[in-house]
Amino acid sequence: MLKYFKIIALLAFGCLNAQSKKVETVYFDFDKYGLDSKQQQTILDFIAKADISKIESVQIYGYCDDRGNADYNYKLSEERVGTVRNLLTANGLNKNKIVIIEGKGRVILTDDILENVGEIRSKNRRVDLVLVQKNSFGEGLYNSFHDHHTVGDRIYLEKIYFPLGSSMLNEQSKQELDKIAKILDSNKSIEFEIIGHVCCTPSHYHDAIDRATNERKLSVNRAKSVFLYLINKNVNSLRMSYKGVGNKFPLGKGEEFDRRVEFLITKI
């Protein structure tokens, strides 16, 4: 009970401060799923500084380094996630806010990593804690184009998704973009930016790796794929631009929903 009141007091204080981060990472010793006191405090401080009134959901993802077999490491990553979940709920966080609890197993090292292997492995023995804010994208978020947009509106289209690690458009996404191209043809004054997103990337990486190119610019490539497809559908390239924002804006609905693009209206 004392812990409960302690965390509530911290959360109340945190509500007076702007949230500086949406993702926090804590690290584990080799083959362990318990957290030392410093890592525990990192989590409690992170939550205390968040504006809980604006948090819609919490996601927890666990990882291991590349040593050991896959099944063992999946179990270990799940136990690490459980440690963080239990710490949060024991200190007053509403368990119903925790919507994703997932152990992802090993993080395999690529063949080109020859230096600092020990340090890289230590960074892979971790749990990422993600806070998803209500209205993460601000005012003016829509799931389709309409006739009364204003500058700053964002259009998030639920049928445009990408396979994990890929920037290739599937057939469903192409069909959706065909519809958008027709809408844009009827509204030639609209100019916009295409914004690419990724899921499942550690907070210390700015983007995910595109498996087709082996470059860490997957969110950029997803936006570019949409940009090029719309050009092929006779949408003037001068009306649009594109960029990637990595994993900064999860929707809180699950990983597949974060492998997406959005349209930001820049001119009417």
Collapsing DSSP to helix, strand or coil, 17 comes out as coil
Point out the domain boundary residue: 133, 150, 180.
Answer: 133
Element (H, E) at 115: none
Categorize the per-residue pLDDT at 13 as very low, low, confident or very high, splitting at 50, 70 and 90.
very low
- What is d(CA 181, CA 174) in angstroms, rounded to the nearest whole number? 10
Instruction: Assess whether 195 and 253 both reside in one domain.
Output: yes
Encoded tokens for 126:
């971790």
- What is d(CA 183, CA 64) in angstroms, rounded to the nearest whole number? 46
Q: Are strands 126-133 and 55-64 parallel, antiparallel or unpaired?
A: antiparallel
pLDDT at 230 over 90: yes
Instruction: Assess whether 154 and 118 both reside in one domain.
Output: no
Mind listing the pLDDT tens digit for each residue in 177-189? 998 899 888 888 8
Mind listing the pLDDT tens digit for each residue in 120-148? 999 999 998 888 665 444 445 566 777 67
Collapsing DSSP to helix, strand or coil, 15 comes out as coil
Rg (CA), the chain: 21
Sheet harboring 240-244: ordered strands across?
Answer: 141-142, 154-161, 260-267, 191-196, 240-244
pLDDT at 172 over 60: yes
CB 141 within 8 A of CB 156: yes
**Which residues span the domain enclosing 80?**
2-133
Point out the domain boundary residue: 133, 168, 188.
Answer: 133
Instruction: Assess whether 154 and 125 both reside in one domain.
Output: no
Give how many domains the chain has, as a whole number.
Answer: 2
Higher pLDDT among residues 109 and 265, named by residue = 265
Instruction: Assess whether 157 and 247 both reside in one domain.
Output: yes
Point out the domain boundary residue: 98, 133, 168.
Answer: 133
The CATH number for 18's domain is: 3.30.1330.60
Mind listing the pLDDT tens digit for each residue in 30-62? 999 999 999 999 999 998 888 777 777 788 889
* pLDDT given for residue 8 in this prediction: 34
Instruction: Assess whether 106 and 149 both reside in one domain.
Output: no
- The 3-state DSSP composition of the chain as helix, strand, coil percent (nearest 5) reads 35, 25, 40
127 phi, psi to nearest 5 deg = -130, 135
pLDDT at 260 over 60: yes
* pLDDT given for residue 141 in this prediction: 59
